[in-house]
Structure 1
Amino acid sequence: MEDVAQEIAPARLLLVDDEPNVLSALSRMLRHEGYELHTAADGSAALAILEREPIDLILSDALMPGMDGVELLARVQQQWPECLRLLLTGQCDLAATVRAINEGRIYGYLAKPWDDERLRLTLRQALQHQHAQREQRRLEALTRTQNLELAELNATLEQRVEARTQELKQTADMLELAFNELRQSYVTATRVFSSLISQRLPPRFQTNAKVGVLVQAFAEELGLDESQQHDLQLAAALYNLGKLAWNDRLIGTPAEQLSVQQRESYHRYPATGESLLMALEHMAGAARLIRHHREHWNGSGFPDRLRGEDIPYGARLLALAVDFIELQRGMILPRQVTRPQALELLRKFAGRIYDPAMCRAFVTLCLDKAPDLENHGRPVLALETQQLKPGMVLAQDIHSVSGILLLHEGKEFDAHLIDKLKRLEEVEDRRYTLLVYRDDEDHE
């Protein structure tokens, strides 16, 4: 009951400014937002409130007599680290802002005069971020407690224990994935937007993390500079931002099966994604990549029908990563294709949809290093039968041409089994691409 009460309790905000008219304006603006508001005219009064009240977020002016906003937020960070800290600065307070970032580890800052709607949005995003972190800690503690309870169950309940353990593991894995995604980005807006996208899309269509891993691996392989890699990572996290306004039917329809009316909405989503990021200056480079990642090498893409090298370099790379993942998820064709089939389709459309030289390099990277796939937290290597060695462990089931299961995931190869696969390839006149768990010695 206590947890429920905490969830529905209004967020507690502390507003600090030495100018009474500023405090009055902020209080009037936030009066109907559902917050519990506290105000203080200086740093000492603010600290006194924090001593007796559990404050969720403090918004402080930068320049105040006596204890300034930077010193106040630094004190808050030391004594109440879970309290979110926002700085309200004047146009010439750049030095104070830098100090607040370094000393107070602030969540963000707003410039005076502020925009009411932007301030409301920033507060909501900050509190949502805080709630997500608290919920993560609560669930992790709950997971640990329930694991201990499961360990104490009677042996006759073995099946129940196993089922519950699997459920808890899935929860822990989801939490770990969400936490890793948050840590990968140092831009608050990117974390918030990426989280919103993941919640809106069905689990099978939550591709941002996979696309991000693949883009990062290829960017490092190409030796792109830090700025290019930064823009690509942001674009990978937010490339489908423009799909948030779609209805569930449109989201679940593969691109090749869209009606004429649905296709019009589909063609607008890259430009919509760019426009949603327009107000964020540091996102300009990523927004440009998002706008153009559906352009085609031959000029038949959208939204601007750019051709060849007129398409931004990062957008060409993003397009390959997005299509490679979405083909395997059934988001483009009316079926999910296998990884080798997805690579073959990329090759087929090189020179029409994709930059041919980049496509060749991309396919080679995927064949050699498989950076887009992980099984049970372990990296995977894609190999042909001729490259197999005894002792390697299969990471994905193998099926024959007719669909018969040949080998289960987890099977360890020996010389006899490798020879049998080679003979099967001769009989079926085809080559298999197998995924095996990659050990350090395999990666040399």
Structure 2
Amino acid sequence: MEEQSVPMLNSRPKVLLVDDEEPILNSLRRLLRGQPYEVLLATSGAQALEIMALQPVDLVMSDARMPNMDGATLLAHVRQRYPATMRIMLTGYADPSAIIKAINEGQIHHYISKPWNDDEMLLTLRQALDHQHSERERQRLEQLTRVQNDQLKLLNSTLEKHVAARTAELQQTADMLDLAYEELKHSYVTGTEVFSLLANLRLPSAKQTNRQIIELVRGYCTEHGLDEAASRDLAMAAALYNIGKLSWSDSMMVTPSDLLRHTDRDRYRGYPKQSESLLMTLDPMKDAARLILHHQERWDGSGFPDRLKGKAIPFGSRLLKLAVDFVELQRGLILERQMNSDEALLYLRQYAGRLYDPDLLEDFIKVCTTFLSDITLADPQVKVLTTRELTAGMMLARNLNADNGMLLLNAGKVLNGPLVEKLIAFEAMEGGKYRIFVKVPQDTPELVQAKA
């Protein structure tokens, strides 16, 4: 099949008229003179095919009856070689076989009988060429769509590669930023601990608390599998919980909170808010600052600054309060008398459900007995008794101090009857109430642990 180049859609259509009778051709040429067509003439089928081989033709109208090659045969050749060319047969007599051949083999668009009606002739030509124009436009648009689709596929493929490469690049950058941010957060934790050590220089070594509070909080986080973010926030909160106290006088810094009065009492109740305010401008410290703000709230809602109650208090704040009070009780920063670690834990247990989360308290006590070597509560032989529950033969498991801090008896001392009576008398004279940690021999009847 020969191909013709597709003419420009805005060029004049070329119409090839084929007839072996020149008067017919001249008549047709005159009819089409005023039409927007370029008219070509051929007197035989062979000449028509030669013309079409040299230039594109939009429409061929051929006489049916011609010598050598009749119209049906010519149009069949045109269909085979130039399928886009419109084909019309002009017949001057009724020859059904010629018409059928033209339709079947030439697949003509139309046939016109001689003599023709000029208007009908012009209308038929115009309709045929309009149809051809529409078909070429459809093909052009289809081809354009295919090209554009191919280009789009190529662009999509290229874009996908660019997106994949860019995504990988962005992921790598994000991973680097995450790593840098993690290092920054770790640096903040380290920085807060260093700063807490500097802040502790305001206090005598016996009153410093932050290091032990940090270790207790970390021990709890490890024991209970808290996630990295929660552990980090708790460690920073433990390191800087008392930063709001740095503006206090030296004497106020070491005075037990229970003895503070009037203005000093108000300043004490404001230190969690002051600590939070100092840290809120540092974005990695915001969550830790919130834990610090609420670490003096109480389980029964009587705490400060917002009188939060129960589980409305952030978990980290509840844990931080246990660690802070446990250590500050031993440093003499809450009560006038310094407690040992066992006494401090008993104090916390005494106020479970009032000051402290009762469930969290028991978990905290277990952590303390695991991580601190000086706690005897975990020893089943150690009992906490009042003076009147003491009997001869019991051995002190911990030093016994009077309420004013004076050492009365050393750990390891074995009690006898006269010594027990002296302790009862001294307790009554002092007006105190001692908690005595003793080791009970295996053959001693089980005693009920004294309740505070």
Which TM-score tier does this pair reach, normalised by the shorter chain?
Answer: 0.3 to 0.5
Larger radius of gyration: 2
Provide TM-score, normalisation by structure 1. Answer: 0.47
Provide TM-score, normalisation by structure 2. Answer: 0.46
